[in-house]
Amino acid sequence: MKKQNLFIVPAMVFFLSLSGFSLKKDQPDPPSNTPVFLKATYTGNDAVYTNNPLASNEFYNPILQGCYPDPAITRKGEDYYLVASSFAMFPGVPIFHSKDLVNWKQIGHVLDRESQLDVHDTGISQGVYAPGITYNPNNDTFYMITTAFAGGLGNIVVKTKDPMQGWGEPIKLDFEGIDPSLFFDDDGKAYVVHNDAPDKGKELYQGHRVIKVWEYDVEHDQVIKGTDKIIVDGGVDITEKPIWIEAPHLYKKAGNYYLMCAEGGTGGWHSEVIFMGDSPKGPFKPAPSNPILTQRYFPSNRENMVDWAGHADLVEGPEGKYYGVFLGVRPNTENRVNTGRETFILPVDWSGTYPVFENGLVPMKPKLELPEGVTNKTSEKGYFPNGNFTFEEDFSNEQLDYRWIGLRGPREAFIKQSKKGLEIRPFDTEITELKPTSTLFHRQMHRTFTFSTDLTFKPKSENDFAGITCYQNERFNYAFGITKKDKAYYIVLQRTEKGNSEVLASKPISLSENISLKVEADNDVYTFSFSTEDTAFTKLGDSVSGDILSTNVAGGFTGAMIGFYATSANSIQP
């Protein structure tokens, strides 16, 4: 996946008891000016799910709602593992496990410590891009390979014998380019394929890229110098000037080698294409019926629109049936993308020479039939949810749910559980800065949702602020919470667009008791309200547009997030 803004290039848990870290309990009460979040409730209520209830033999697509882009998948026996991009979120590279490709549990993050991931000074759309995950049966080892646009790492690989038990330290790989993927052949040999620029002086047009292959030394975990070769130049047909050939994966079936890539950029012209050859190093010939997956040909006013489909990976599922995971988006009523690029799945017909995504070349539907013998458990505790659902958190468990993520640094640096709830010790940084922030997020997973929290907080000065944020990136976000001016406490709402911040509304309030904060979104319309002393919620200011929380306006590669925010360097003034 490329670093360009999406619109420069025209095409750009459920609650688990498992956790990334333990929360310390029974600590002394925090100081009165340290914010303590007592609980949080997220409720999604999208019309697509209300209007399309599931039958007993169905499940919803996408399988991972919200910002889980660039999915990759692998299998060992009856166990399936899926990873997604995480950029500057921390921990990085969320990983999920399933036995049936329908019901998924998040088992952690691949890059869960600072020695593996250094994103402390990067924009949110930098960091970790397009991970690939592959199981090597020749040595019973799992590999996650990715490009890290931070910390001086570049292309890296990490390994484990058991994804349930964590991953090793990153090994820096000696090649340029992005979107690497590993392939392990039956004879024990290994290969890396990736996107790269054309040879120097041979770039023919904007977006001209190539796919390269290297032989890979499994014993020393490094590409073998001098073995690199360009196996795709430009795309399916270079005379048509295809753009951004990327995200390659190699497969072997019936003695033939297949190279599958994304083409067209990760936006509106996104697609998936397939090539075949008799060697991992080619030559590769494109299928006569490319693309094998795309949503680019259909009217923009189609019902329940899914768009930008591509960046796929294939896996052989139960009973020998193939499936493909890929990214797609679901724009809101203003045709803007706030939930980001999500993970979808479709069955794949590989009964002929080339694989084709079933119903991947017609407008996609919100529901799929369950595979034979599979029961839909996505509404049950422990499984990642989809559809409409409510997630409630009171921070009473020993472990924090994996959905809660930090930004540019570990959550442990600013979070502690007190007797009252979740304490956030504020950093002296604001969410507009390219530094670690004392923010705890989970992804926006619906176009229509409500997020609320109860907060105990008494700021000592105008430098103190705590509340909630709706956040697309450091230059586009809303902050809604409490600060102090002179001797009075204020509730304030700030909008930041293109890095310029403006207070939209403020109001003096009493803080004798806890305060409740709430944001409600109905597609593009976001409303912020508050309640003190168990009174009814009061709207602060007018409803606002969610435009700045969309990829269309803010650019980049992530989706909107909602969460807790505290700072001791506040510049928001009533």
Preceding peptide of 291 cis, ω within 30°: yes
CA 345 to mean position of chain CA atoms = 15
Which residue among 118, 196, 228, 246 is the active-site one?
A: 246
CA atoms of 117 and 170, how far apart (whole Å): 9
User: 522 exposed, middle or buried (CB, 10 Å; 0-12, 13-18, 19+)?
Assistant: middle
Active site residue 100: no
Cβ-proximal residues to 535 (8 Å cutoff; 6+ apart), any chain: none
Active site residue 246: yes
Q: What is the DSSP letter of 165?
A: G
Identify whether the C-beta of residue 514 lies closer than 8 Å to the C-beta of residue 456: yes
Beta strands 58-60 and 448-456: pairing type? unpaired
CA atoms of 529 and 518, how far apart (whole Å): 5
Copy the structure tokens of residue 308: 């930008």
Q: What angle do CA 455, 530, 394 make, to 5 degrees?
A: 35
What separation in angstroms does the CA of 112 have from each of 3, 276, 346, 414? 23, 37, 30, 16
Residues written for the chain: 574
Tell me the Ramachandran region of residue 51: left when phi exceeds 0, alpha when psi lies from -120 to 50, beta otherwise. Answer: alpha
Which of 168, 216, 184 lies closest to 74 in space, CA to CA? 184
Identify whether the C-beta of residue 128 lies closer than 8 Å to the C-beta of residue 145: no
Identify whether the C-beta of residue 296 lies closer than 8 Å to the C-beta of residue 302: no
Identify whether the C-beta of residue 405 lies closer than 8 Å to the C-beta of residue 66: no
202-232: burial string, b at 16+ Cβ within 10 Å, e else? eeeeebbbbbbbbbbebeebbbeeeebeebb
What separation in angstroms does the CA of 517 have from each of 175, 397, 448, 492? 49, 22, 17, 11
Backbone φ, ψ for residue 131 (5° rounding):
-70, 150
Identify whether the C-beta of residue 104 lies closer than 8 Å to the C-beta of residue 63: yes
CA atoms of 483 and 493, how far apart (whole Å): 11
Q: Which residues are catalytic?
A: 70, 246
